[in-house]
Amino acid sequence: MAVATHCPYCALQCGMHLRVAGERVSIERRDFPTNRGGLCQKGWTAAELLDSPERLRTPLARDRRDAPLRPVGWDEALERVVTGIRDAQRSGRDRVAVFGGGGLTNEKAYLLGKFARVALRTPNIDYNGRFCMSSAAAAGNRAFGVDRGLPFPLSDIPAADAILLVGSNAAETMPPFMQWIAAQRQRGGSLIVVDPRRTPTARNATLHLQVTPGTDLALVNALLHIAITTGGVDADYVAERTTGFADVRRAVAAYWPERVEAITGVTVAEQRAAVELLARASTAMVLTARGAEQHAKGTDTVSALINLALALGLPGRPGSGYGCLTGQGNGQGGREHGQKADQLPGYRRIDDPAARAHVAHVWGIDPDELPAAGRSAYELLSSLGTADGPRALLVVGSNVAVSAPNASRVRDRLAALDFLAVSDIVLSETAALADVVLPTTQWAEEGGTMTNLEGRVLLRSQAVAPPPGVRSDLEVISELARRLNAPGTWPTDAEAVFDELRTASAGGIADYSGISYERIAAEDGVFWPCPSSDHPGTPRLFADAFATPDGQARFVAVEHRPAAEDLDATYPVYFTTGRVLAQYQSGAQTRRVRALREAADEAFVEIHPDLAGRLDVIDGDRVRVVSRRGEAVAPVRITDTIRADTVFMPFHWGDAGCANLVTHDALDPTSRMPEFKVCAVRVEAVA
């Protein structure tokens, strides 16, 4: 039997078949529109997750903080969670918090958001997708009135004559995506990559702009400056489809290429070459990823890129536009249905009275009972156990002890809680700190929908029975709601939850009301918005109008500013982070897969030969990377593909090589995205 499903990892959500023969589960090619049969090493090896010896198969609990975790029955585990919640609630409903994940299905994200608002009546729910693409979401909302990663299908990419790709190493993070770029290049299209590292993606580009970390915004304002002064602006498009260009033109007037060369390290000639490639293309795309977004000015940086795209007349035109390459498997859907502190299902705002009334009606409560917006992800984590912060936390499918910035502070805050419960498939670094651990079903053991980077809603079908002793997150949330005497209905069947989600999303920006499991299976996914069962879905947005009140896209004038932490004599090197081919996010899943462990079994520090010479280290020597917040230790990889003033670490490990022990927790004022991508460090050889 072969079951059509999708990879458990990134936002490309590659289609695959799972063939089940007795105990053996193998992965086979599936010709799905996003990946056309392609999978990366993570996808091909994903079946090993299903029978990992490290898989949790029974709830765990500890009797005291300093006691070891011991196996317990489900009834005891759930009662412990209810007691932990009730004890914390004696000081106020907001003393209980929920932290979700961008890998959860839409159904789980929806039910978790409902659980926080209806069963717990707490405003404090957010998720690790805040760390993923919230800056692009905020910039998309303020320019277009909607946030959907790509407003067009992946299959449009080959039609772009030029692509500006900022802060994405897709060749390693989502290799099957590169077939679309390859097709674009085969057509004669050009690719401009902006990245401090000459990554495998950058190596294949027409032009690589090796920018100083934290200076993308200045660079992009200079590109727009050049486009304006060289006649590259599409004046008709700007006049007919946008507002606010005059302010942006004034703002970028100060971004002389020579001045920006001094800020960014990108030469005037390179800047001009990039603009020439973009401006002479009849179709072009601007695509961003975490490199542009994970900064304390990430929203403004993406706004600068959207300004450039609008000035060139791209969004809404065939083969053209602006888009964000979402990272996590359901980073998109995870925030559309209520898992984010300020949102209700259907991408509704929690401070909108009409949205509150609609969702409260679906949930069978009074709108006044719905909490207000809560704290954003890092603010929530850093408030745990403080005088006015949450005393109890439920984490579902997230490994914040590894994935949050300034990880040692986050671990301290987790330790300061009165009660921590974690639901996961393995004993992640975060689960290992919990008072109660709830073992749940994963991926192929359960059904559910995901929304990929194109806004395509996909069906992940159950292919195998879960091991005895584990329960689905839907069952856990529903049972906790029942034990807490929550009002309303709490279905445990994924399709029943999806049907409720459809009703809750109806009329919202992300309207799923016309999408059904049957349609998803029959149509290779359905693009939102899809407001009725006879609506075809919306693969392309903005052809006629933007989702703003007047239908016009909005330019937003933005200014470059330095990173939260600049170099000085004590911390003279930039530090940046990212991913490697064989690992995914905090590594909680992929570190448990043998082939992936063998391919990438520990962190490393990528440094330039000049810095290696000054430190007197050779490949494989261990170095200590020290910031004002902490330090990480890992072997060096010496390469001239990185800038001489910058070091890079992947962030998939939680031990001494945990890159987030070093990263900065400065937040973007709009998106509340932490500044993962740049801080100041010193590097020391370890004796």
Residue 46 token pair: 């994903």
Residue 611 token pair: 């810095």
Mapped onto helix, strand or coil, the DSSP state of residue 445 is helix
Of 12 and 474, the one with the shorter C-beta distance to ligand SF4 is 12
- Whole-number minimum distance, CB 596 to ligand SF4, in Å? 10
Of 176 and 257, the one with the shorter C-beta distance to ligand SF4 is 176
Of 324 and 681, the one with the shorter C-beta distance to ligand SF4 is 324
Q: Diameter of the chain by CA atoms?
A: 71
Helices and strands, number each (H, E), in the chain: 24, 28
Mapped onto helix, strand or coil, the DSSP state of residue 224 is helix
Of 13 and 586, the one with the shorter C-beta distance to ligand SF4 is 13
Of 14 and 410, the one with the shorter C-beta distance to ligand SF4 is 14
Of 61 and 174, the one with the shorter C-beta distance to ligand SF4 is 174
Q: Bin 210: left if φ > 0, else alpha if -120 < ψ < 50, else beta.
A: beta
- Whole-number minimum distance, CB 159 to ligand SF4, in Å? 22
State yes or no: cis peptide before 153, omega within 30 of 0.
Answer: no
Helix extents (H) in 574-669: 594-599, 609-615
> Closest Cα to residue 108, out of 394, 462, 397?
397
Of 9 and 512, the one with the shorter C-beta distance to ligand SF4 is 9
Of 129 and 514, the one with the shorter C-beta distance to ligand SF4 is 129
- Whole-number minimum distance, CB 175 to ligand SF4, in Å? 6
Contact 121, 369 (CB under 8 A): yes
* CA–CA distances in Å: residue 173 to residues 258, 325, 510, 667: 34, 11, 27, 24
Separation of alpha carbons 184 and 188, rounded Å: 7
Q: DSSP of 324-368, one letter per residue?
A: E---STTHHHHHHTT-STTEETTTEETT-HHHHHHHHHHHTS-GG
Give the residue closest to ligand SF4 by C-beta: 43
Separation of alpha carbons 474 and 449, rounded Å: 13
- Whole-number minimum distance, CB 200 to ligand SF4, in Å? 14
Separation of alpha carbons 246 and 200, rounded Å: 38
Of 152 and 584, the one with the shorter C-beta distance to ligand SF4 is 584
- Would you report the helix, strand and coil content of the chain in percent, each value rounded to 5? 35, 20, 45
- Whole-number minimum distance, CB 9 to ligand SF4, in Å? 4
Under DSSP, the state recorded for 526 is E
- Whole-number minimum distance, CB 589 to ligand SF4, in Å? 10
Of 13 and 199, the one with the shorter C-beta distance to ligand SF4 is 13
Of 12 and 370, the one with the shorter C-beta distance to ligand SF4 is 12
Amino acid found at 54: E
- Whole-number minimum distance, CB 498 to ligand SF4, in Å? 21
Residue 172 token pair: 């390693």
Q: Where along the sequence are the contacts to ligand SF4 (CB under 6 A)?
A: 7, 9-10, 12-14, 35, 39-40, 42-43, 174-176
Classify the C-alpha dihedral 78-345-397-648 as positive or negative: negative
Backbone angles phi, psi at 554, to 5 degrees: -110, 120
Q: Which residues pair with 25 in a beta bridge?
A: 20
Q: Which residues pair with 685 in a beta bridge?
A: 623
Token pair 């703002």 in the structure block, residue? 251
Token pair 């010896």 in the structure block, residue? 53
Of 84 and 333, the one with the shorter C-beta distance to ligand SF4 is 333
Residue 308 token pair: 């450039």
Of 200 and 469, the one with the shorter C-beta distance to ligand SF4 is 200
Contact 490, 478 (CB under 8 A): yes
- Whole-number minimum distance, CB 663 to ligand SF4, in Å? 23
> Closest Cα to residue 50, out of 395, 473, 442?
442
For 286-317, b where at least 16 C-beta lie within 10 A, e where not — what string? bbbbbbbbbbbbbbbbbbbbbbbbbbbbbbbb
- Whole-number minimum distance, CB 14 to ligand SF4, in Å? 3
- Whole-number minimum distance, CB 379 to ligand SF4, in Å? 30
- Whole-number minimum distance, CB 38 to ligand SF4, in Å? 7
- Whole-number minimum distance, CB 130 to ligand SF4, in Å? 21
- Whole-number minimum distance, CB 34 to ligand SF4, in Å? 8
